A and B are shown apart, each in its own frame.
Chain A
Amino acid sequence: MSLEQLLFLVVAAVIVLAALGAVFARRIMHAALCAVVVFTAVGGIYAIIGSYFIAVAQVLIYIGAVATVLVFAVMLSGQKDIAGGSPIRRQARWKTVLTWAAFVVGLVMVFQFTLNLTVPASGPANAPMAAESATSLRFLGQLLFYDYLLPFEVISLLLLLVLIGAVVIARKESDPQ
């Protein structure tokens, strides 16, 4: 097992444990901080497989923006967690069992699918990482600003609308003009 694979396994373990923490932590603040750990570690995964631009974008967007918004919302919705402690709803046991069963079945299907995958000769194993990443970024930029120019502009408009909409929604109703 190479060093790269060892690093991947460690980061993957961090992701899974922190994700479980985000779902099952009793305090919602702890859940938000566990989510930050997941976002960071996923950025690490992107760096390990050589997608450096996506790794940087992950850190900028998820840790810089989403995590901050999450923590703000936890603070602003300022209230204790739902009484009873456990974040998991207690009624409807069979729904819980069904969810877990669906989760396990889906996971088994994923295993079955990935065991049959073969990586073509153009995979990253056959290209020197460092030399390729620079040209990979060039390809990314060309794709983004030539082939995907219209979606790019539309999504920038979407961001503008979302910012205005979030401000309008979260504003106090009885604003004294």
Chain B
Amino acid sequence: MIPLSWLVTLAGLLFGIGLLGALLSTNAVRMLISIELMLNAVNINLVAFSRYYGASQPHGEIAAIFAMVVGAAEAAVGLAIFVAVARNSKLIDIDKINLLKW
């Protein structure tokens, strides 16, 4: 069987890589991709702990399903916003998008 620490370590690595991408990238689409990676890491943790600690009461897997749905919703809205911004200003460099900044 897989040790739980392996799964948590994998999730930590994936979350860290996604965090780096979200903080350091300049392209908005790449930032969204990184956020999806972080969501995946969280889901790995939820499913792993649900699997190892509550076999007959998989509350963690339910939470993972909800997180997946919210992640898909976030991707749809975020990408729609970026398509709209790219249509208006021809670039999606997140350092240059300051339309809402006062």
Contacts and interface: CB of A to CB of B under 8 A. Distances in A.
Contacts, number: 239
Interface string A49-89: 11101100110011001100110111011110110000111
A66 B36 contact: yes
29 contacts: A5-B1, A16-B13, A16-B17, A22-B33, A23-B17, A23-B25, A23-B30, A28-B30, A42-B40, A45-B7, A51-B58, A51-B61, A54-B47, A62-B71, A70-B36, A73-B82, A73-B83, A76-B86, A77-B86, A82-B27, A96-B24, A107-B12, A123-B55, A124-B51, A136-B55, A140-B58, A162-B76, A166-B79, A167-B80
Interface of A: 2, 4-5, 8, 12, 15-16, 19-20, 22-23, 28, 31-32, 35, 38-39, 42, 45-46, 48-51, 53-54, 57-58, 61-62, 65-66, 69-70, 72-74, 76-79, 81-82, 87-89, 95-96, 99-100, 103, 106-107, 110-111, 113-115, 117, 119-120, 122-125, 127, 132, 135-136, 139-140, 143-144, 148, 151, 155, 158-159, 162-163, 165-167, 169-170, 172
Which label, helix, strand, loop or mixed, suits the secondary structure of the B interface? helix
Question: Size band of the B side of the interface?
Answer: 35 or more
Contact of A53 (B27, B59, B61, B90): B61
B100 interface: no
Given A45-B44, A89-B25, A76 B12 contact: no
A49 B51 contact: yes
